[in-house]
Chains A and B, each alone.
Chain A
Amino acid sequence: MKARGIDLSEACGVDDAMRRIAIVRFAEVLTLAPALRKDPSNALHDLRIACKRLRHALLRFTVREPALLEAASRLEQLQDALGDWHDCHVLLETMPPELRATRARITVQSEDARARARALWSDAFATYGPFGDLVRFTGLGYGLGEADGV
């Protein structure tokens, strides 16, 4: 998935530039988050990439905005879970079909990883959850609680 371009020509200072970048990258993640609930594997892969981009951006900002570190850590956990899912998915595609029992075990692991990602995402928006400061910083994601997380 190609990263969306960010217009910084109107940005007033570094804090404003940081906010503009975080808004665009968080919006990308929010747009792709429904993939955690549905099945399209491409969208889930794109979500993983979007999480990575947002995390990289937030880590750069933590020098000036240390409160964003918690969101970056949660994104890392989320990215790890989605990475585990992706590895299982790719391995299943390359494995010969006759290794049935092994395939079944990897499928279970893949579903576990996906469930873990879903739980991490839903919990991130809980009151005092790790995305609290990110939501305040960007103004995006208000009202996304556990019920409608995914």
Chain B
Amino acid sequence: MADDRIREWALALEKTELAAFGRARRRFLRRPSPKRLHALRAAARRLRSLYEDLLDVLRFKQRRQLRRLIALTGEPRDAGVMRRLLIAQTDVREAAGARHVARALRKRQRAGLKRVYRALLRLQVERS
């Protein structure tokens, strides 16, 4: 069992990270967008890494849900980034073929954003 000073420090860190996650969650739910998704994903990952580092000290009940949410945010994020990269790197002679792929990626990104939105509505993160 870690000493009280460590527990106190860990709880303060948890409070900060949970507040950041809560803000990102509210912003995304208000208006889902790729930019807000990025902020949400970053906050969720920081929160997860805090619990990984302080597994001995903090007990987090919604670990599985958080892990699932992070996995869900990966798909629209990847699709968006790949689409931008593809558009930037497309050779002019292959523009038609690349447009087809870019369109499919856009579709994936939109569907992914919807899935994240639905999952976020269900997720309630509480302190340990």
Contact = CB atoms under 8 A, between A and B. Distances in A.
Interface of A: 3, 5-9, 11-14, 17, 21, 25, 52-53, 56-57, 60, 87-88, 90-91, 94-96, 98-102, 105-106, 109
A108 to B, nearest CB: 9
Contacts, number: 90
B55 A5 contact: yes
Given A99-B98, A105-B91, A3 B5 contact: no
B71 interface: no
B52 A8 contact: no
11 contacts: A6-B53, A6-B55, A12-B3, A53-B53, A87-B85, A90-B78, A91-B86, A96-B97, A105-B89, A105-B91, A109-B89
Contacts of A14: 5-6, 9
A12 to B, nearest CB: 7
A7 B57 CA distance: 10
B13 A60 contact: yes
A100 B93 CA distance: 10
B121 interface: no
A88 B55 CA distance: 34
A99 B94 CA distance: 6
B28 to A, nearest CB: 20
A56 B45 contact: yes
Contact of A3 (B3, B49, B86): B49
Contact of A9 (B1, B78, B98): B1
A62 B86 CA distance: 37
A8 B91 contact: no
B53 A57 contact: yes
Ordered nearest first, which 6 A-B pairs have the shortest CB separation?
Answer: A101-B91, A3-B52, A56-B49, A8-B56, A91-B82, A8-B2
A132 B128 CA distance: 35
B17 to A, nearest CB: 9
A87 B77 CA distance: 10
